[in-house]
Structure formats: C-alpha cells, structure tokens
Amino acid sequence: MPGVTNRSDPPHKRPTTKRLENWVRPLPAGHWGAVRVRVSWSLVLTCLAVLVGGWWFGSRPGDGDLPVLAGIVAAAIVGSACFQAALRVWIAKAFGVTPAEVSLHALGGWGVINAPALLRLQLGIAIPALTMCLAVGLAVMPPHGIGWQGISLLPPELTGNLNAAAVLIACIWVLTIHATAQTLPLLGCHGREALIAVVDLFVQRHPTWSRTRTVRQTLGIFAIFWIMAGLFMLLWQFTSAADTTAVSQPIASWPWPIFIGIACWAGRRAPLPANISHTLLACPADPGNGSKPLETLGDLSKEVSIRQSWQDWKNRRKLQAAHEEEILEAVDADRLDEILDRLQQTSYSQLPKEDRKVLDRISQRLRKSNGGHVSKK
C-alpha cells in the first residue's frame, strides 16, 4: 500500500493543501518560448467585475461612455500584468536563467523561477520600480499636468466622457496600483520574493539559522505590523471623527492594512521557492555527463494535464481514506480487549451501541481479509 500522509509531512504534501492548490492554480494560457504562461482566476474575476460595473453605472446621465472606459481599465489591468511578466522573463534571461512559468494576476505579473537569492532580490525590486517608472513616464506626457492625477492609490475622478485624458489617467492609475501592490509581502507579489531572497542571503551567512522558520517569522512580523497599522488608523479615524473642529475627515482606509496583514499571515506556510546557489549557475553544461543547459534550470516542473490532475486527486483521496482507516483500526484494537471482557459478563444485545459497532467493524475486516469466509456472529 502506498505511503500515508502524516501530520508531520510538509504542507505541500497534505491532501488539503493540494486540493486548495488545484482550485487556486492559474489557468494554462500557452507558452512564450520555453516559458509557460498562466492566467489567474483573480485577473479574470477582476476584469469581469470592472466590465459589469461599467455597464451597470453607464445608465446614469452623463456616464454613457463609462462602459467603454471600464473596458479600457480592464485592458490596462491585463496590459500591466503582461508588462510585468515580460519584464520578469527578460531580466531573468539577461542573467542566464529562464523562468519555469509566468502568471498574470489581478495585482500584476509574477512567476516561478529557480534562481539564486541575489537574482530573486533583483527581480523583486526591479519589477515594481520599472512599472512605477512607466507610470511616471506616461504622466509627464502631454497634456502636461493631466496624467499626474493617476499617480494615486485612490480611484481617479473619471466621468463617462471618453477622451484621451480619461484613458491616460486610467492607465496610469492601474500601473500605479500594480507597482504599489507588487511591493507587498503577499503571495504572487514581488515584495514577498524580495523578502525571501533577503532571508536567503542572511541564512547563507548564518548557516545555523533555519530558512523556513526565519521566513515564517519574518512574514509574521510584517503581518503584525500591518495589522497594528490598520488598528492605529482606525483609532485615528475615531479620534478625528470626535473632533468637530476638524476641517476634513480622514478617509476610511483602515481595513486595507488589516486585510494585508491577515493575507500575509495566512501565506506564511506557503511553499518557498528553491534557493539555487551561484555555483550551480556557474557550472557550464557538459553533454558528457548529461547535465542540462542553463536555460532549463528554471523549467524543473512539468505541465500537468487535466486527466493527470484528476488521477492525482483520486490518489490523494485514497491515501486520505487509508490514513483514516488506519487510525480507526488502531482505536478499535485498543478497545477490543475491554469490549471482550464485558461480552463475557453479558450478552451481545446488551452491549452499548458503540461497542457493537466496533465489533461489527472488526468482523467486517476479518471477512474482507479472509475472502468473506468468516461468518458474522
């Protein structure tokens, strides 16, 4: 019988984690050379929500062009994610490594790469910075002063009038949001990748430190910081609301730091990227010993078909059922002697219902192991 999962197994080998990964795994969208391209459900749902919202509010007077602007915003979200994914591939290839895959998310483009910590740190810093540079570059374009309205974390005040200024502001705002979001230590963001890379560089200098434990503790500290910042903003808002002499009231933005902190805390136990050393990248490919060229170092995982995913899911269910059956057998074996002692003092019908269920299960196992030749008593 195949091995049974235990509580001490790594998180990525547990059936519950595997099932969750299958639900949230991005959809395959083809290949870009040797790099797999995937589209996240978050990108699909976000674009759909933007389009539906534009159509819903487009019926208001003066907002007849709002559905078109919603389509432009959705296209800007997809374009910004594609821009970040392309930057990731180009920068990685410049250092001699091809990413295994890139995925397009609602918060930008990300991907899977097996590379040294220094390269992952450079990617984690360069992608958000270059995205912000593109937003600033578009903001300085004519007409001067119009594009700067998009350099904000708050939604720009757009009307339903379709013009070049509205399109420019919407695109700049999407780029600004993506550049800012990618600096956060969340799953699918370059900020988390840069943070893990910094921890890897620290662990390389201090080998006695555990990489997994240090990463989880660091992410936990960041999560607590964000939650405390949200609570402080909430307290400040209540204090300002009580001040009747205040000219303007603060914006109720306190839930966002709390949501970020909760998401950061929940993602602490996610699988970590492989930490490839510089010596591995420095070794040239030798056809004589069967080593792979540098371009294939990032492509360590294989595409899984729908049929294979279904087979893997059924195998995990079988392993989980076998594990539960083993636990039940152990519990029944511990109670068997006690039940037999009570059975000698009374009849079978007078035994408690739970004890009779235990005896029935043991009897069924005996019949199954002996080909059904054990009669039920």
pLDDT at 224: 94
The whole-number average pLDDT for the span 256-269 is 89
Binned at pLDDT 50, 70 and 90, residue 288 comes out as very low
Query: Is the predicted pLDDT of residue 129 greater than 90, yes or no?
Result: yes
Query: Is the predicted pLDDT of residue 207 greater than 70, yes or no?
Result: yes
Binned at pLDDT 50, 70 and 90, residue 157 comes out as low
Q: With helix as H, strand as E and coil as C, how does the chain read?
A: CCCCCCCCCCHHHCHHHHHHHHHHCCEEEEEECCEEEEECHHHHHHHHHHHHHHHHHCCCCCCCCHHHHHHHHHHHHHHHHHHHHHHHHHHHHHCCCCCCEEEEECCEEEEECCECHHHHHHHHHHHHHHHHHHHHHHHCCCCCCCHHHHCCCCCCCCCCCCCHHHHHHHHHHHHHHHHHHCCCCCCCCHHHHHHHHHHHHHHHHCCCCCHHHHHHHHHHHHHHHHHHHHHHHHHHHHHHHHCCCCCCCCCCCCHHHHHHHHHHHHCCCCCCCCECCHHHHHCCCCHHHCCCCHHHCCCCCCCCCHHHHHHHHHHHHHHHHHHHHHHHHHHHHHHHHHHHHHHHHCCHHHCCHHHHHHHHHHHHHHHHHCCCCCCCC
For the chain, the average pLDDT equals 77
What does pTM read for this prediction? 0.63
Window from 93-102, 131-140, 216-225, 255-264 with minimum mean pLDDT: 93-102
Query: Is the predicted pLDDT of residue 60 greater than 70, yes or no?
Result: no
Per residue in 309-319, pLDDT (tens digit) is 677 778 888 88
User: pLDDT > 90: what percent of the chain?
Assistant: 17
- Token pair 């459900």 is found at 41
Window from 91-95, 105-109, 165-169, 208-212 with minimum mean pLDDT: 165-169
Per residue in 306-347, pLDDT (tens digit) is 567 677 778 888 888 888 888 878 877 777 777 777 777 777
Per residue in 63-100, pLDDT (tens digit) is 666 788 888 889 999 999 999 999 999 988 888 888 88
Query: Is the predicted pLDDT of residue 199 greater than 70, yes or no?
Result: yes
Per residue in 244-253, pLDDT (tens digit) is 555 455 556 7
